[in-house]
Amino acid sequence: MQQPERKIFLKEFTAISHAISTYSDINLLNDHLVEMMCKSFNVKGSSIFLYDDREKQLFCVSSYGLSESYLSKGPIYVDERFSEFETGKPVFFSDFREDPRIQYPEEAIKEGIVSMLSVPIKSHKAVIGLIKIYNHEPWILNQEDLNSMCVLAEHLGLVIEYNGLKNFLDQVKVAMESLPLRMLKDINLI
């Protein structure tokens, strides 16, 4: 079988990698990434989900090309259907209409989604989210593009972890600044 045409070459990969590592606003970065994926692969939509391990649920943090009604279809719980969380490898859904792993098949059909690629976002080997690319028809991704997507998802995972840690430290700093001076002296911080 002939490989499909590549969409991500070194020039694009370098530009995306640079963007991931230099954006100061993670929300803007996510918005630009999902739009870029739709335009690069000429697909219906894309979204980025982050995993809340307390709720065992995925939360959409950015999307492009998908309707508000599809995005608000209901909670996405992570269970045995999400093999990408178990294996840390991308999963391709070739036909939503025939796949028992899909949580909301009627909504996907109504949205016009036929196939989807789900790429794990990882940080230090742990899956912390998913990049999902949706298409209105069956499609095949070039293996090199899939490899590039996996590396970019890992880059994104590191940036997400860094931003989470930075936000935590900023909150600790604010809390420390609001402590009375006598308490700061007691813990040898002044």
Ranges 11-25, 46-60, 150-164, 173-187: which has the least confidence: 173-187
pLDDT value of residue 47: 97
Place of tokens 């789900």: 118
pLDDT confidence bin for 189, thresholds 50/70/90: low
Sequence-separated contacts (24+) of 109-112 with Cβ below 8 Å: 110/70, 111/66, 111/67, 111/69, 111/70, 112/44, 112/136
- Express each pLDDT in 8-30 by its tens digit: 777 777 888 888 888 889 999 99
Tokens of 26: 């993670």
pLDDT value of residue 188: 66
Tokens of 42: 């000429």
Mean pLDDT of 166-186: 78
Mean pLDDT of 133-161: 89
Q: Look over the chain and give the mean of its residue pLDDT values, rounded to a whole number.
A: 86
pLDDT value of residue 190: 60
CATH of the domain spanning 10-163? 3.30.450.40
pTM over 0.85: no
Out of 31-40, 158-167, 173-182, give the one with best mean pLDDT.
Answer: 31-40
Residue 112 CA neighbour count, 13 Å, CB half = 8
- Express each pLDDT in 72-128 by its tens digit: 988 888 877 777 877 889 998 888 777 888 888 889 989 999 999 999 999 988 999
Classified as helix, coil or strand, 131 is strand
Torsion angle in degrees (nearest 10) through CA of 130, 134, 139, 143: -20
pLDDT value of residue 180: 80
